[in-house]
């Protein structure tokens, strides 16, 4: 399960019991989760592993023990779910870009994801932009889809004074002496990182490029090395460091060719960073007018946006203020309340 999916599960289960005191919750997980007010059923890593014997045999046996409703919190699921269920599908990146993934993926969608999703009482997704894909790739009727935007953890919301302190921590913690552009996410091909590297390499001011990914890049990063800055591979960072890195960034960039939501966008806005997005449907939907944007593969356009952010003039201050207002609309409490409403609707059917 990806970091974004783990965040979704962790944040939601922590808030659902309080959001819906009229419902009783049983959380089935192999991870340590904060779910006060819910019963926890721990399962082994083997039983929870995606596309495993445990997922197909052990997990269904557990899920059908008297549950009135099961929430499958990702597209990974048992082959058959006999209990009434809802399912969260964040995106259909695997189907949009099958050439970037294993040949086995379309088979999984055909024989597992599709049938389970079509038998669900409701499909939850993060943004309206995904509705068309759910219909095209999984044949899900639009009237069976519910939009529940993701939230931002309270730790990311910083005022100006908090942002200044956090930025100072980031510079000291990671030895960052120049302004830096920041990307938080993985390095899969659809993330379009080569466009980011190419645009950054053409900046005319001193600036580092910091990325969190630990994965091997699908291009030669050395091609984009330049004397005006360095490429900093930060690897995995804890939430406190992530907040600080957002706070200190001259710009946070999400260059992805496709996203189901783009959680890093609203997290960066909450922390007070200028944000730049590729003009793809979900990112535009989530960011609204509170981000600079560029056509997804337009290297020149991204260089221009980066230059504008690095100049730090008044339009950037206005962008930061708009971003903070925008991020305030995305809370995990709201996500939990909307999810609980989907449960009640599904139980009433």
Residues in the chain: 349
Print the domain residue range for 168: 154-327
Percent of the chain with pLDDT over 70: 99
| Minimum mean pLDDT range among 75-89, 128-142, 180-194, 263-277 | 75-89
Q: Are 286 and 310 members of one domain?
A: yes
pLDDT score, position 2 = 63
* Closest by Cα among 149, 209, 185 to 331: 149
Give the bridge partners for 229, in sequence order.
226
Can you give the pLDDT at residue 62?
A: 79
Same domain, 302 and 289: yes
- 262 & 294 share domain: yes
Instruction: Tokens for 300, please give them.
Output: 């020149």
Average pLDDT over residues 142-166: 97
pLDDT reported for residue 60: 77
Non-local CB neighbours of 265 within 8 Å, separated by 6+ positions: 252, 254, 275, 277, 283, 286, 287, 291
Q: Are residues 127 and 198 in the same domain?
A: no
Q: What is the CATH number of the domain that holds 252?
A: 3.40.50.2000
Residue range 291-312: mean pLDDT, rounded: 95
Mean pLDDT of 171-192: 95
Residues 342 and 313 in one domain: no
* pLDDT for position 323: 97
Q: Reply yes or no on whether the pLDDT at 1 is more than 60.
A: no
A 10 A CB-CB count for 180 gives 24
- What is the pLDDT, as a whole number, of residue 224? 94
The region, left, alpha or beta by phi > 0 then psi within -120 to 50, assigned to residue 325 is alpha
Q: Verify that 223 and 336 share a domain, yes or no.
A: no
Q: Is 67 helix (H, G, I), strand (E, B) or coil?
A: coil
pLDDT at residue 230 greater than cutoff 70: yes
Residues 90 and 127 in one domain: yes
The pTM for the full model equals 0.93
pLDDT, tens digit (0-9, with 9 covering 90-100), for 50-91: 877 777 777 877 777 778 999 999 998 888 888 899 999 999
What digits encode the pLDDT tens for the residues 183-228?
999 999 999 999 999 999 999 999 999 999 888 898 999 999 998 9
How many independent structural domains does the chain possess? 2
Average pLDDT along the chain: 93
């Amino acid at each position: 399960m990806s970091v974004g999916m783990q965040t979704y599960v962790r944040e939601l289960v922590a808030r659902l019991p309080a959001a819906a005191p009229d419902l009783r919750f049983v959380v089935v997980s192999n991870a340590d989760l904060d779910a006060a007010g819910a019963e926890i059923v721990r399962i082994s890593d083997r039983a929870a592993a995606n596309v495993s014997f445990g997922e197909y045999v052990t997990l269904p046996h557990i899920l059908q023990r008297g549950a009135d409703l099961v929430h499958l919190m990702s597209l990974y699921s048992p082959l058959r779910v006999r209990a009434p269920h809802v399912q969260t599908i964040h995106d259909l990146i695997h189907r949009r870009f099958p050439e970037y993934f294993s040949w086995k993926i379309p088979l999984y969608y055909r024989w597992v994801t599709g049938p389970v999703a079509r038998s669900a009482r409701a499909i939850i997704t993060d943004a309206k932009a995904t509705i068309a894909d759910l219909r095209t790739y999984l044949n899900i009727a639009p009237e069976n889809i519910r939009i529940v935007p993701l939230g931002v953890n309270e730790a990311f919301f910083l005022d100006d004074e908090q942002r200044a302190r956090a930025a100072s921590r980031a510079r000291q913690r990671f030895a960052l002496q120049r302004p830096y552009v920041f990307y938080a996410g993985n390095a899969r091909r659809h993330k379009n990182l080569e466009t980011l590297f190419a645009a950054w390499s053409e900046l005319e001011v001193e600036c580092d490029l910091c990325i969190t990914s630990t994965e091997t890049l699908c291009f030669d990063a050395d091609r984009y090395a330049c004397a005006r800055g360095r490429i900093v591979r930060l690897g995995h960072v804890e939430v406190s460091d992530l907040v600080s890195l957002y706070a200190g960034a001259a710009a946070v960039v999400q260059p992805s060719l496709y996203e189901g939501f783009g959680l890093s966008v609203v997290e960066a806005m909450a922390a007070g960073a200028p944000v730049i997005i590729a003009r793809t449907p979900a990112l535009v939907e989530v960011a609204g007018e509170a981000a600079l944007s560029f056509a997804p593969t337009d290297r020149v356009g991204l260089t221009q946006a980066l230059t504008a952010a690095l100049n730090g003039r008044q339009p950037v201050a206005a962008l930061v203020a708009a971003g903070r207002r925008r991020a305030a609309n995305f809370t995990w409490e709201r996500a939990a309340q909307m999810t609980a409403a989907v449960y009640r609707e599904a139980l009433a059917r």
